[in-house]
Structure 1
Amino acid sequence: MQSIILTLSRKNMLKNKLPLVIIFFLLIISCKKEDGAKVLYLGHSLPQSHPVHKGILEFQKALENKSGGTLKVKIFPDGQLGSEREVLELLQIGSVAATKVSAATLSNFVPEYHILGIPYLFRDKNHRFEILEGAIGKSILEKGSKFWLRGLCYYDAGSRSFYTSSKPIRTPDDLRGLKIRVMNNQMAINMVNAMGGSATPLAYGELYTAIQQGVVDGAENNPPSFVTSNHYEISKYYTLDQHSAVPDVLLIGTKFWDKLSDKEKIWVQQAADESAQAQKKFWSDSVDESMRIAKEAGVEIIIPDKSLFAKKSKSVLEEFVNKYPDMETIVNQIKNE
């Protein structure tokens, strides 16, 4: 079996204090073949009920079918191999073949992904997918190769909106004084602060308890994540301001990719593209179901004037182009498409 992975995550390596010589030995033997098949090990942090995981299952099925069983995918969900950042680092050293991460996390490795987190960059869902599936989106996917992280496709992660436990958010002024959990991503931090809240980076796995204990007043995320995380149980206000639409990205490490034949590379890319189309439907169905569950649980769904939030967040774009002036052209291309 060829599997470009260490079956122990870096977290487990550190926990068990494995000597470096053993770690390198595990990496070497992980490249063996078994039954003539190459096995692509894929780790991600989402639960198996999540629509993105279902999209990954489609990738698994499509790749095995296209390759006649010579390429297989073994999936490790639920953060079994570590956090998004940890798994990305495992891809870079060649001990994991693939992963799914948020473009926000990926932007800490590949700067161009910052663009996709700019608040209110996309006019609507159709515009977003025209960009992601067109030349601009594909160009950004390719940018990661120089960092050993080749993008294969985007998965729909919907639009992110605010949810709170203590008070409803109807205008940006209502965010004043509230601690809002965000990903450890500078653009997300700048956005919440610009809107008047107090951005609080926090690990996703710690968020339920943090809201419950009042460490933070709320967070921002899409409907399926709001529900599958059970945050709707303790956050009774959900404001659909839809401030950003940060996609998920299916990635393959170049250390694995470069070992594939030209035909195998085609199969992998085709399987990824097909899984992305299937995942869109999974996502749409999940959004509908998640909103139903939230409403039945007594969550107040608030439809605000999004223009108020967009106006407050304009400084985020200005700061971005000042920091990355070479990316302003791409931003303008997206806005003018």
Structure 2
Amino acid sequence: MNRKRTSLKTIRAFLIGAGLCLVLAGCRQGPPGRTIHLAHGLDVTHSVHLAMVRMGEDLERLSGGRLRMEIFPNQQLGSEREILELLQIGTLDMTKVSAATLENFAPKTRILGLPYLFRDREAAFEILDGPIGQELLDDGLEFWLKGLGFYDAGFRSFYAMDQPITHPDDLVGKKVRVMESVTAINMIRSMGGAPTPISWGELYTALQQGVVDAAENNPPSFYLARHYEVCKYYSLDEHTFSPDVLIAGTRFWDQLNEQEKAWIREAADNSIAYQRELWALAEAEALEKVAAAGVEISRPDKRPFAEGSREAYRLYEADTTLGRLIRQIKEFQQ
């Protein structure tokens, strides 16, 4: 995303931020020290939120009370895109967003939405916690966003109302909800479906009213959003492994001294390890709960989905930088 295109969005974010200043100003009163304001769009029962609470506790302990954290969950301060814009102008300090949202701000992260990019979860985190992952985290720096690490958001799979999706042919003619992501749109289109961008908060109603026929997400999101009440078929094709990304705004980060940055990095690393443990438990529980609620869970052959989605790779493989990253990831897993 170039700077000209972001100008109008930045103005809109500034206007939103001006109102939020009144809210955040009250949070800055209190004992001496710095209060870090972090916002995200998830429920307070989600593993990411629980990990962020742990991060705040660790940060206050490590800093001896000189750094504290105030967390605003449940989209209290806006959507993921709006929150990123608030980080860019310095109204907000930190957030967690999906890699699909981040790709609109940091172009290299588009590859994380490609289907079947990672062999399994272990390989994914070995790559994301290494030099390739660091390159992706650094991609947002010129857009005033500093990536700090990757939370586990699991594999995304299809769920539908009227029939299980066990082959790409089952997507033909179906309107499939996708995130606001060019990569996600291209993937669904390459499989024969009709990609339909809808915000997460509006998806339950959209499914209920037949605006879309199907959607795709990880098991905890499917369960916590209660989409299993509408969609009784969940097909674990596990087409994408798209992590959540912990981010600080550079306008905030650049104000910190080296000791403060070290405290935040340590607290963030601890929270990431803790969240990945919580995620594994949440994923198992979600599948158990939706099955008990009458959802038919299937594990289709992934090969037809992988073959059907090859078209989604072509544009990115032709790009010098993205093509290099894709090759490096594939070679790492050989």
TM-score if structure 1 supplies the norm length? Answer: 0.91
Q: Which residue of 2 aligns with 1:39?
A: 35
Structure 1: gaps spanning 5 or more residues: 1-9, 15-19
Matching residue's letter, 1:255:
R
Deviates more, 1:77-86 or 1:51-60: 51-60
Q: Which residue of 2 aligns with 1:293?
A: 289
**Partner secondary structure for residue 36 of structure 1:** coil
Matching residue's letter, 1:294:
V
Matching residue's letter, 2:299:
I
Once residues 317 and 35 of structure 2 are traced to their aligned partners in structure 1, the CA distance between those partners, rounded to angstroms, is 41
CA contact (8 A) 1:156 1:280 kept: yes
Of residues 302, 312, 317 in structure 2, which corresponds to 1:316?
312
CA contact (8 A) 2:89 2:251 kept: yes
Q: Which residue of 2 aligns with 1:224?
A: 220
Of residues 277, 283, 293 in structure 2, which corresponds to 1:281?
277
Q: Which residue of 2 aligns with 1:327?
A: 322
Matched length: 321
Q: Which residue of 2 aligns with 1:148?
A: 144
- Go from structure 1 to structure 2 and tell me whether the alpha carbon gap of 1:259 and 1:30 turns closer, same or farther (over 3 Å shift): farther
Displacement of 1:321 after TM fit? 2.3
Once residues 203 and 23 of structure 2 are traced to their aligned partners in structure 1, the CA distance between those partners, rounded to angstroms, is 34
TM-score if structure 2 supplies the norm length? Answer: 0.92
Once residues 26 and 295 of structure 1 are traced to their aligned partners in structure 2, the CA distance between those partners, rounded to angstroms, is 45
Aligned: 1:74 with 2:70: yes
Once residues 38 and 282 of structure 2 are traced to their aligned partners in structure 1, the CA distance between those partners, rounded to angstroms, is 23
- Go from structure 1 to structure 2 and tell me whether the alpha carbon gap of 1:266 and 1:295 turns closer, same or farther (over 3 Å shift): same
- Go from structure 1 to structure 2 and tell me whether the alpha carbon gap of 1:72 and 1:168 turns closer, same or farther (over 3 Å shift): same
Once residues 100 and 132 of structure 1 are traced to their aligned partners in structure 2, the CA distance between those partners, rounded to angstroms, is 16
Q: Which residue of 2 aligns with 1:106?
A: 102
CA contact (8 A) 1:119 1:244 kept: yes
Identity of aligned residues (%): 49
Aligned: 1:172 with 2:168: yes
- Go from structure 1 to structure 2 and tell me whether the alpha carbon gap of 1:29 and 1:288 turns closer, same or farther (over 3 Å shift): closer
Q: Which residue of 2 aligns with 1:245?
A: 241
CA contact (8 A) 1:108 1:185 kept: yes
CA contact (8 A) 1:44 1:101 kept: yes
CA RMSD of aligned residues (A): 2.1
Q: Which residue of 1 aligns with 2:114?
A: 118
Matching residue's letter, 2:230:
I
Structure 2: gaps spanning 5 or more residues: 1-11
Once residues 24 and 174 of structure 1 are traced to their aligned partners in structure 2, the CA distance between those partners, rounded to angstroms, is 45
- What do residues 90-115 of structure 1 show as CA deviations (whole Å, max 9, x unaligned)? 00000000000001100100001111
**Partner secondary structure for residue 140 of structure 2:** helix
Displacement of 1:32 after TM fit? 6.0
CA contact (8 A) 2:21 2:91 kept: no
Once residues 296 and 273 of structure 2 are traced to their aligned partners in structure 1, the CA distance between those partners, rounded to angstroms, is 32
Once residues 244 and 277 of structure 2 are traced to their aligned partners in structure 1, the CA distance between those partners, rounded to angstroms, is 15
Matching residue's letter, 2:32:
G
Q: Which residue of 1 aligns with 2:57?
A: 61
**Partner secondary structure for residue 81 of structure 1:** coil
Q: Which residue of 2 aligns with 1:17?
A: none
Of residues 177, 186, 193 in structure 1, which corresponds to 2:189?
193
